[in-house]
Amino acid sequence: MDAEKLKHFRSLLLNQLRQNTEQVRTDQAAALELYDDGVKDSVDLSVQDLNKEIALRLGERSSKEVADIDQALLRIDEGSYGICARCSQPIDERRLEAVPTARYDAACQAIIESQNGEDDLPTL
């Protein structure tokens, strides 16, 4: 991948990093605010616990996204960005535009997801 394209993807990743870092801070602050708001009713406590759980999970998700972005930036520095970590083939640039943190090309990603059962539809 040429230097101009790498610069473009680095810029996309840094923008995502700023957004996700701010989201992590916001989610953590929201979760901390929920710990003691003077609520005493058992129903309110249940709702409060649910809200805490949601805020913490959102924070975990944002933290994982920050880690994925950091890894992608490291791959740019190492010269392996845009190369599938499974088959060593180039990752299509359209995929990188959609998912700048992609480690795998679309075919390998599909295989990995099917092996992990991530493509199964929930049963009703």
Domains of the chain with CATH codes: 3-115 (1.20.120.910)
Q: Is the pLDDT of residue 122 over 80?
A: no
**pLDDT, tens digit (0-9, with 9 covering 90-100), for 52-69:** 777 777 767 777 888 999
Q: Which residue has the higher pLDDT, 35 or 82?
A: 82
**pLDDT, tens digit (0-9, with 9 covering 90-100), for 65-116:** 889 999 999 999 999 999 999 999 999 999 999 999 999 999 999 999 999 8
Band of residue 38 on the pLDDT scale cut at 50, 70, 90: low
Burial class (CB in 10 A: 0-12, 13-18, 19+), 83: middle
Spell 44-80 as b/e; 16+ CB within 10 A means b: eeeebeeebeebeebbeebbebbebbeebbebbeeee
In this prediction, residue 40 carries a pLDDT of 63
Please give the Cα distance from 68 to 36 (Å, whole number). Answer: 33
Please give the Cα distance from 99 to 120 (Å, whole number). Answer: 21
**pLDDT, tens digit (0-9, with 9 covering 90-100), for 17-29:** 998 888 777 766 7
Is residue 86 within 8 Å of 112, Cβ to Cβ? yes
Q: Is the pLDDT of residue 14 over 80?
A: yes
> What is the pTM (predicted TM-score) of this model?
0.71
For residue 69, what are its two tokens? 């972005």
